[in-house]
Chains A and B, each alone.
Chain A
């Protein structure tokens, strides 16, 4: 009986340890992404502010940076990678897909013809 209790406490301890590790890992991600996001913002600001970067390039460049930021936001800060986010993910992917079809379709068919 005592042995049984022992195993149970061991399992509990193990679980707690794993949670702690996961938490630590997550905090690391948060810190990294926080610094990255500030850096990306600074780079975006510099691209527009500086005369050395051509405007036509800068606009495209900061759009790419914005997409990266969106991924940081969704996956690190809004925990999209965690369990139980299947429906929000499906919703967003299909929303982006249909929006993209709409924009590409209209833009392509109207302004190329």
Chain B
């Protein structure tokens, strides 16, 4: 292919399978993450139906174990993670004034690895039973689990983990190197900052997971003895490695939500974010402290009072930067001209909900009290308050806020508000009673309970709440479907946006910015609007724009690993060899074939610019 030839346009399915455009990959992440969110949600519904009355027999005990394992694993790795990557892809390059991420090919590879990891894990339902050792897969439960369920867990997470890792590295490189002229670090929008810190956490937290999963795989597939005390191993090694990954992982999830909330609160209060530099510092500090607290998941293991105290203090310290953030959001709203759009409702609902999750977090950080709370429904209530009440509420705020940018149409506000109120009330109805269930002694991960222990009523309320959340989610999907059927382009700048992504015309051009913008301060677009300018001041003349070529190779590489995983699960080395061969051959082609991309010519860009009215 000649380097300067204009590109051939692909259409339909092939376009989506070969795309390396960050905007399209963002949409792919959103759809795939939404799909797994539904699956994880269904698993949750089955569990709540099973628990709605004592000694129910809706599902068997073994099935319940599989449901709770798959619910946790799916929601963390295959719903929350891709939804975060969806917004990072859709928004970060636009917010920093870049035309794409640093490595578009690797970006596509990251998506397909995640996707096939998720598909592999969920196929276990159809192939002899899902994993049943909990999403934490503690040894020896996981090492001795019958069937191949845990093998699906190990390999599914291994493949998708590789995708997440390359994605994280990609965003680090993008944010460091591809900021527009004038976009210094302390002028970056807060969502980009949180994406940056999250990517750093991914870089340091996922390698331990990879190692841990390899050890678990060797233990199960090749009879190694890392976690087998009979042969000199130690089961605690898994717990340590898992939580050294697992604790930063929860900050990986929450930080981008904090970022989205910061954007939404500032935009709909019509004010500059209060305490921007304190927010940045708090974000970095949370990321840093996130690596020093993993033992608070293991207080009852018996590591001794010294270890427990050190990690308890470190854990409580995290409440300080998080509190700084909460106050800064409140001060941003204080005296602002608040518009209660749907996105803002989610953001406002997020604040008290997340504070409640944070308070129970500090309670759990007290080792002596944790002996009482450990493995009870109190813990379930706590982490749902921070993950649903924190991460998911933030992601919904981001969805309503950035939907016009991603899909060139707005979501219906009335349906959005119905979604918010049903989901929000349903959420508190589901999880607030679970605090008390835990304090009354109901252990987590049990498939049923006896009547006459005062557990009936609260469990019943909890199940009702879960149905309300399901109704809310259905309303969201109705809203999305209605929006696709309507041919509606938002007016330019639907929310009176402050940051660069709102300076682009609709629909977003393939090259994002016809001319790289010049950034003159924090809230770059707002500054230009306040100065009476119609758009951003360009930092370069109109010229040819270099674009990457689409490629099918990321998809094929991921399929290769997917095939190899089946070989490992069913102990057939030929299939492993075939799968790895597919991956390595596509890597070989990627290495030897020169791919210079193509140029969008100056004339085309000028043509596009003529049609733009801002």
Chain B residues near A110: list those with CB within 8 A.
Answer: 234, 236-237, 240
B244's nearest neighbour on chain A, judged by CB, is A102
* Tally of B interface residues using CB under 8 Å: 20
Q: How many A-B residue pairs have CB under 8 A?
A: 33
Q: Give the complex CA separation of A112 and B175 in angstroms.
A: 42
Q: Give the complex CA separation of A101 and B292 in angstroms.
A: 8
Chain B residues near A95: list those with CB within 8 A.
Answer: 203-204
User: B204, A105: Cβ atoms under 8 Å?
Assistant: no
Chain B residues near A87: list those with CB within 8 A.
Answer: 176
Chain A residues near B288: list those with CB within 8 A.
Answer: 94
Q: Which of B131-181 contact A (CB under 8 A)?
A: 176
A98 in the interface, Cβ–Cβ < 8 Å?
yes
Say whether, besides A110-B234, A113-B302, A113-B304, A98 and B291 are in contact (CB < 8 Å): yes
User: A94, B200: Cβ atoms under 8 Å?
Assistant: yes
Chain A 79-113 interface mask (CB, 8 Å, partner B; 1/0):
00000000100010011001001100110011001
Which of B200, B203, B208, B234 is the one whose CB lies under 8 Å from A102?
B208
Chain A residues near B204: list those with CB within 8 A.
Answer: 94-95, 98
B303's nearest neighbour on chain A, judged by CB, is A109
B295 in the interface, Cβ–Cβ < 8 Å?
yes
User: B244, A105: Cβ atoms under 8 Å?
Assistant: yes
A94's nearest neighbour on chain B, judged by CB, is B204
User: A101, B291: Cβ atoms under 8 Å?
Assistant: yes
User: B176, A109: Cβ atoms under 8 Å?
Assistant: no
Distance in Å from the Cβ of B384 to the closest Cβ of chain A? Answer: 28
Query: Looking at chain A, what size class is its interface with the partner chain?
Result: 10 to 19
Q: Give the complex CA separation of A110 and B288 in angstroms.
A: 24
Q: Give the complex CA separation of A102 and B246 in angstroms.
A: 13
B339 in the interface, Cβ–Cβ < 8 Å?
no
Q: Give the complex CA separation of A87 and B175 in angstroms.
A: 12
B307 in the interface, Cβ–Cβ < 8 Å?
yes
Q: Give the complex CA separation of A90 and B511 in angstroms.
A: 32
Which of B203, B240, B291 is the one whose CB lies under 8 Å from A106?
B240
A97's nearest neighbour on chain B, judged by CB, is B291
Distance in Å from the Cβ of A46 to the closest Cβ of chain B? Answer: 35
Distance in Å from the Cβ of B29 to the closest Cβ of chain A? Answer: 25
Chain B 191-205 interface mask (CB, 8 Å, partner A; 1/0):
000000000100110
Chain A residues near B304: list those with CB within 8 A.
Answer: 113
Chain A residues near B38: list those with CB within 8 A.
Answer: none
Distance in Å from the Cβ of B303 to the closest Cβ of chain A? Answer: 5
A86's nearest neighbour on chain B, judged by CB, is B176
B302's nearest neighbour on chain A, judged by CB, is A113
Q: Give the complex CA separation of A98 and B291 in angstroms.
A: 7
Chain A residues near B307: list those with CB within 8 A.
Answer: 109
A87's nearest neighbour on chain B, judged by CB, is B176
Distance in Å from the Cβ of B291 to the closest Cβ of chain A? Answer: 5
B241 in the interface, Cβ–Cβ < 8 Å?
yes
Q: Give the complex CA separation of A95 and B294 in angstroms.
A: 17
Q: Give the complex CA separation of A95 and B208 in angstroms.
A: 12
Chain B residues near A98: list those with CB within 8 A.
Answer: 204, 291
Chain A residues near B295: list those with CB within 8 A.
Answer: 105, 109
Q: Give the complex CA separation of A113 and B208 in angstroms.
A: 22
Q: Which of B203-248 contact A (CB under 8 A)?
A: 203-204, 208, 234, 236-237, 240-241, 244
Q: Give the complex CA separation of A113 and B302 in angstroms.
A: 9
Chain B 250-292 interface mask (CB, 8 Å, partner A; 1/0):
0000000000000000000000000000000000000010011
Chain B residues near A113: list those with CB within 8 A.
Answer: 302-304
Chain B residues near A91: list those with CB within 8 A.
Answer: 203
Q: Which of A87, A109, A113 has the most CB of B within 10 A?
A: A109
Q: Give the complex CA separation of A60 and B302 in angstroms.
A: 32
Chain B residues near A101: list those with CB within 8 A.
Answer: 291-292
Q: Give the complex CA separation of A110 and B240 in angstroms.
A: 9
Distance in Å from the Cβ of B269 to the closest Cβ of chain A? Answer: 33
Chain A residues near B240: list those with CB within 8 A.
Answer: 105-106, 109-110
Chain B residues near A94: list those with CB within 8 A.
Answer: 200, 204, 288
Distance in Å from the Cβ of A3 to the closest Cβ of chain B? Answer: 36
User: A106, B241: Cβ atoms under 8 Å?
Assistant: yes
B304's nearest neighbour on chain A, judged by CB, is A113
User: B200, A106: Cβ atoms under 8 Å?
Assistant: no
Chain A residues near B200: list those with CB within 8 A.
Answer: 94
Chain A 54-95 interface mask (CB, 8 Å, partner B; 1/0):
000000000000000000000000000000000100010011
Chain B residues near A106: list those with CB within 8 A.
Answer: 237, 240-241, 244
Q: Which of B295, B302, B307 has the most CB of A within 10 A?
A: B307
Chain A residues near B244: list those with CB within 8 A.
Answer: 102, 105-106
Sample (28) of A-B pairs whose CB atoms are under 8 Å apart: A91-B203, A94-B288, A95-B203, A98-B204, A98-B291, A101-B291, A101-B292, A102-B208, A102-B244, A105-B240, A105-B244, A105-B294, A105-B295, A106-B237, A106-B240, A106-B241, A106-B244, A109-B236, A109-B240, A109-B295, A109-B303, A109-B307, A110-B236, A110-B237, A110-B240, A113-B302, A113-B303, A113-B304
**Interface residues of A, Cβ cutoff 8 Å to B:** 87, 91, 94-95, 98, 101-102, 105-106, 109-110, 113
**Interface residues of B, Cβ cutoff 8 Å to A:** 176, 200, 203-204, 208, 234, 236-237, 240-241, 244, 288, 291-292, 294-295, 302-304, 307
> Which 6 residue pairs spanning A and B have beta carbons closest together?
A98-B204, A106-B240, A98-B291, A102-B244, A109-B303, A110-B236
Contacts beyond the supplied A95-B204, A106-B241: 4 A-B pairs with Cβ under 8 Å = A91-B203, A109-B240, A109-B295, A110-B237
